[in-house]
Structure 1
Amino acid sequence: MTSPFSRFSFASLRFQFVLLVMVLGTFTIALSTFAIVQDQVRTSHEHSERELRTMSIFVQASANRALRYALPEALEEIMAETAAHRRVQRVVMYRRDGAIAHSVGAYLQDDASLTDKMAVKLEQTQISERISISFMEDRNTYVAAIPVLAPGELLGVPNRYVMMIEYLHPITAADAFANRIGRILVAACALVGIYFLLFWYWRTWVSQPSQALIQALKKARDGEAFKLDKEIKTQELRVIVDAVADMVAQRDIHEEKLRKLTAAVEQSHEGILITNRQGTIEYVNDAVVKATGYSEDELLGQNPRMLGSGQTPASTFASLWKAILNGQSWTGEFYNRRKDGSEYIELQTVTPLKDKSGEVTHFLGIKQDITEQKSIQERLHFLAYFDTLTHLPNRTSVLDMLRNELEVASRKQSWGAVVLINIDRMKDINDARGFQYGNDVLLAMTSRLTEHQMERHFLGHLGADTFCIVISAQFRDSMQIRTVLDEYANKLMALCQEPFDVRGERVQLTVSIGAAVFGELQRSADDVIQSAETALHNAKRKGGNQHLVYRPADGQEIERLYQTEADLRVAIEQGQLILYLQAQMDQAGELAGAEALVRWQHPQSGMVSPAEFIPIAERSDLIADLDRWVLRRSLEVLKRWQDRGQRLTMSVNISPRHIQSARFVESVTEILKETGADPTLLVLEVTEGLLVEDVEQSIQKMKALSELGIQFAIDDLGTGYSSLSYIRQLPVHELKIDQSFIRGIPHTQSDVTMVKTIVSFAQNLNLRVVAEGVETRSQSKFCEKLGIWGQGYFYEKPIEWHLWQRKWGVAM
């Protein structure tokens, strides 16, 4: 059974306060009693001394008169009257030598001898001739020594006497206590009342609120709400309560945050693992358990190396430990093995966790299974460097190979060549038998060229129906390479004229070949390819089925290119250019925007194809002027739409060369400001050529414009230089799939697979996808099913901007 006193702990504030009050009360009462008694005693002494002095003065005067007039009876009477006082014990007159001359108080006769103290007193009084009074504590009496003079036998020499009066002091400390007991009791009761009131106040305003606060804290500790059962009105305690309430509220907030953080960690799709400094696993979340196949108990207490497959390079571990032991975070890839033996690739970020002193105590690992991403990256790498149809190296790979050969040629003073092979009348084959049949023809040509590929020859596919062979720089001079090149071209033409078996059908083909040698001058890879293309175009223009080697003396073509460039400069200045628009349809088949295209109305030559003048502009500084003209006209049209509340996007092609110019960002910003168009509706399309050189500067410029709301799109995806790593760095909002991939859908499985792969990649990066070259209803439905935009002749051919607005009812 619990004792009622169990609530009073010796260490509790309540017990200590009660004990303190009791001690203080007892001490105060005792001190008060002592003070009252002492006051009574002091007052009694003052009264006794005052009465005795008055009596002594009167006795002295009377005794002096009685002795002066020689009246012994009077002296006796004076001493008798004095001795008759209720407190006078005795009256004795001493001579100068200490002998008793007179004495009154017969009951004291036996004790009339002169004590040592009285002898001293007698002597002092005779010397001072003054009345002196002293208290004798051992007898509880006052003794008054009174000097008395009597006429002597010799004239002028009086007889000196000292009269001693012994006066009984009536009150002791006990008597004083007895006399003052009533007052003492009143004072004690008053003090008890005061202490009772103090205790009541303390209990009401301090103890009970404190107990309520303690109970509230206990409930808060147990997870209940912090709530007081009693209102606290004391200001100081109210401050404490408010402070405690704030602390509890902050604790609840922190606990809620911790709960959310714990839930987030536990429910995170990314694996989270914590080890101590020695590498022992102390915590894993559910994602790690699911990813590895091990249970939590199997993982805890182990080292993460248990998950290793042995495929992770030692350099990875070296860089990991170097970073984290220096207190730095580290990110890298591990090749791990699950419990069932299957392997997976994991991207992991390891961060050191430090205590308050800055010492590393644990390591936090955030793990993400990137096996699928790596697979997608490999597929996109394939798209970036290989042709999706022929699986031959694409233009990017050819240019890389050619750059290497140009370096070798420059270093060794040797010569090589580039050979372009184009199938004649390929368009007729596609028109007659369909694109899929045309693809089969390309595959047959790929197989033929691969089978007969010579050593130190690099075979690639530049796109469409053009193949490329790079002959390595192994020849001593231009004469030797030209001779070899002529013989090789003839063999290629003969090889390609042999019948092909396409779907069990014999197909006879001819090819046109354009070649360019390198080694004589310092030339870029693009220049060499361009020279070979010029030779190929000349061969095609002459009817095909022949081969030509580019010669610097081909003046007519050079002159034509030069004249075209000069005319284009005039066209930009004099307004000969015309803005065309082509609709872009969203995933629901609704009008979502338009792509801005440029056409050139030459005063003499008529309409000039963009395929003719844009490459010329690309090779000169005109491309920036041309881009600015198209951008300004496009934004003026976009402003018209904007003013009429029509929110359609406007896509404008921007050349990589223009982006790389110093004033690109400033130029675009100025045109936006001048036109007042909404930048969020502007989409700048950049080709994959942007990724060839000066990538970092281009990315910074694109990011600067993206901060204004401008969107960016990668145009002709898959035909040039794109790679996963670069696309992820670019502030891209849209991917435009090249029409070469769209042409075969939905019937060609390889094209369907590639398009779906690109769409999946784009969706993972939250990018919009636009399919170029949509020409059939089935292709349009395929795009809608994938949830991507479409653009192409199925919807419309490009037309002048004002006709386009009239057709679609825009800004009318």
Structure 2
Amino acid sequence: MSFESVLNESEFSTIILENRSAYEQDLKAFNELLQADYLYLGVKKKDSISVLIGLSHHSPIAEIEYELKGSPCESVLLTGPCGYESNVCEYFPADNTLEALGAQGYLGAGLINERSRDIGVLVAIFKTPKKDITEWLQVFSLQAKLFFTQLQKDFFAIKTARNLSLIDEISRMSKTGSWEFYPETEKLIWSPETYRIHGLPIDSEINFQKAIDFIVTDYTAEITRAFENLRNSQQPYDIQCQIIDTSGSVRWVRASGKAEFYKNGAVKRLFGAFEDITEYKTALILNEDRAKRIQSILNNINDAVFSIDAKGTITHCNDVALKMFGYTRGELLGHSVEMLMPEPYASNHDYYMRNYMESGVGKIIGVGRQLPAKRKNGDIFQMELSLTESCDLGERGFIGVIRDISERIEAQDTIYNLAYTDPVTHLRNQQWFHQRFKDLMLRASMNQEYIHILLLDIDNMAQINTRFGFGNGNYAIRKVAEQLLFVIGHDYEIFKYGGDSFVVLSKKTYRKEELHKFYSSLVESALLNPRHFDIMLNSVKWSLTASLGSAVFNPQGQSFESIINVIEQAVKRAKRSAPFGLCHISEEGFKEFDRYLDIKSKLEQAIEHDELSIVLQPQVTHDGTVSSFEALVRWYSKEFGPVSPGEFIPIAEESYAICEIGDIVLRKALNVISSFMKNGLNTSIAINISARQIVMPDFVNTLLSRVNQFGIPPNMLMLELTETALVVDIELVKETMLELAKFGFRFSIDDFGTGYSSLAYLKVLPISELKIDKYFVDDIGKDSDGKAAQIVDAIIEMARALNVSCIAEGVESEEQLNYLKAKGCEKFQGYYFSRPEPQAHWEGLQKNTKLP
């Protein structure tokens, strides 16, 4: 149903079809008088008439449609109502519908709307002549008008209902209802939405007092007074107040009222709107609360916050701004921000603002900058300003955040010193060294030049700290620093590096042909002068010692980290020559260190990929009979080829890798013993145990688990320990050895005479064998003064005194063998008898086999 203001064909059809029953009854009532054979209402279409409802005598007929042209209905629509007493088909021979109906008489009248346009017809057809047709024509015409009047009434009823529905929907959407009050009758009328706002059923009985009862008490007097002023003085009102609806919920409403008058000026009615503004008020209150919270936040941060307009006028500031600059709020708001700037910034500010507003280009917008600022008392201080453009209600402005950084600037020097200065020696520290060294490396790399770097580490600071305390330890470090600072000269600078280390770095760089100008040996000698390390502590003279790593290198192709690693490795090597050990590394040393790093990085992979194997070197008695073997580890790398144990074992000893290698050798040696025993050969095998391995908490359990796994008697293993291993933690080593000896394990002291072990401990340890180091055996027959032979004699005698066997390794000549036999050595090992060979080489070995 459209909302056309004039009834047309579409609305005509809709109304008839929606009210078919009522219109059929009207047709029947009319036909009671007319007695037509056919009576119907039809709607005009473009070129036809469509029968909407009709009667055949008193029975409804189906909807039909017929051509308008050549029909009597065409004449009705053109000339007005008409009637034919009889023979109507002769007048309209082209009308097949009349012929089909057997029509004789005909009555027709048009249905004409407000704009005098025919939109339909009322038609009566008689199968017999209707002699009084003329008399009925006027009645028929009036009946058509009655039908149209009813159609129009229904049309306006539907239109009104639809309009009211639309108004109600709009009221719902806007949450706005209406009210009317008629003073003459004291009658109050509410719209549906007003009922809904109050939570009342629509059309509930309502009056002024009931309406007032919904108002929250705080607003009752105001609303009552406003209504009375409207009633008595016709003063309109628009008030926001609160009501409590029937569910007990509090709502915000906007109530308004006006008066309508009669022509004589008397009040006809009072009317107005009633709008639910709860959501708006809630949002407004929320925004107000948010604004208060924001203001509270701004007042509680440590930064000053200003808002200024496009002219540079201060429009807002927080409490911190007042405190920072010393003004009251009234002294700042409405005044130019220039008052917070010293010259020349104040004078130039207007120009900068105008330029930015015209061009949109400003160096300070969106970028924090350090600038001077001026307090009310004239003091100038440094601030950090961050300025952002804003837009409020279409007006451009700026928000500035200011931080007073004067205290921070004052603290920066202190922080810098704390960050880059050693607190004990007051020398520049490791961080400063890193930066200076990287700069020097860059300069030298660009010019293909060389640098000299030295790392000096004090050897025995732990003893000083333990004996005299850390305070005296720091004093000793400070005194050493003073001495070193005095001797390094103008071409070098010194830095504190770690707890008890110093880095000395050349200030200059040199071309290759100028390397002699480094005077590296002079600097090294000066740094290692023992007099620099004599310190008086608690009236006692204490002599410290140091180790020095030194490197001259071209940094091109080297990383900072690799150079640091090289110089630290040099110090480790220097400590092997302690006290006052020195290790000087040239360019060849860097290549050697690269090899060291490569081996170190690939060693873990070698362990994981089972690249390690063992070879066996026989140990023979006086007559050449093989009595036992020593298992020696070998590494054939897929990348490096064969790697010497002398190269990778020291690297492994720096980490847990030596324990993993020890376990591999143990398992492979036990596997060999198991294989030998299956072939009837009960030959023991000696394996080396590292210092790190023997002090592992689970060493005893792991060893027992391994021999039990292979079913090997413990006495078939000879555990070789170096004297260095004994002194790592002698009490723990002693406890471990005694526990293992209970199970039948035997121990040999390897490389005897080269370490620092105490003879007192050798007496109480469960040792089965002393092994004379190859170092002493090599010099038998070559030593002009006979010292090597005397040491060998002493070791053999000591073994005899300790009631343990003695074995010499590194025997390579008959002369050496004869000498050792003559002195009473019991077993021998070396190339004279056999090189170390893989297990397969010894598979056919028989009991009592002799080697030439």
Mark yes or no: TM-score above 0.5. no
Q: Which has the higher contact order (CA 8 A, sep 6+)?
A: 1
Normalising by structure 1, we get a TM-score of: 0.40
Structure with more helix by fraction: 1
